[in-house]
Structure 1
């Protein structure tokens, strides 16, 4: 769950890099929440108001984490626009987000795989 919250904390951060795990865990949790909201709306009959609010709330973080994921594969964030092309664009974007990250630092920053997410303190 911390992957989801970490992405929300970086609400509109388009710089830096995002690991595959961060991207896909956010996508998974967001999808599960969307399904639960859709089921709740079906039961309550709220005419998809809550779902629309949720989609609008996570639109910017979703876009930001996708751009950071593309940065991790050493691609410009502008590649996210290829997703606007039906089917072919979606497949290309899916492949790009599934690729492994560059282990060395690139122009978007150091590899998130090799940077500890939290400060480590010596144990005695």
Structure 2
């Protein structure tokens, strides 16, 4: 859930790189919320005989379009592709498959033209290895 919230906190940040874990965890929770919301609100809409309740899911989807696009662009940056490669998804049949292949491909090791490696440990993380984590 932290990865999902991290993406939402970076609402329109199209710069930098996003690792596979960040991308897939956001996608997982986004789909759970979308389909879970559709199921629960669909039952509620049927129970109170008001189909307009389902529009809450559409409001959620509209609110998450920008962070989803930003995450996809950052994921493409991780494999050293321009963010404009997201438009490949508009090509019927082949486009979505190619974007899927890029999303499961491991990102470049080390820095590339879009930023530093998101998997690289910084000095603070290295110093914290093995220390007990205090939860607030």
For normalisation by structure 1, the TM-score amounts to 0.91
Q: Give the 5 Å matches for 1:80-99.
A: 80-99=86-105
1:94 CA displacement: 0.4
Please tell me whether Structure 1 or Structure 2 has the larger radius of gyration of its CA atoms: 2
Q: Secondary structure at the residue paired with 1:112?
A: coil
Do residues 112 (structure 1) and 118 (structure 2) align?
yes
1:25 CA displacement: 0.3
Q: Give the 5 Å matches for 1:21-100.
A: 21-45=21-45, 46-47=51-52, 48-100=54-106
Whole-angstrom distance in 1 between the partners of 2:121 and 2:43: 45
Q: Which runs of no fewer than 5 residues in structure 2 stay unpaired?
A: 46-50, 132-136
1:115 CA displacement: 3.5
1:21 CA displacement: 0.2
Runs of 4+ in structure 1 over 6 Å off = none
Q: Which runs of no fewer than 5 residues in structure 1 stay unpaired?
A: none
Q: Secondary structure at the residue paired with 2:119?
A: helix
Whole-angstrom distance in 1 between the partners of 2:20 and 2:75: 7
Aligned length in residues: 122
For normalisation by structure 2, the TM-score amounts to 0.84
Q: Secondary structure at the residue paired with 2:12?
A: coil
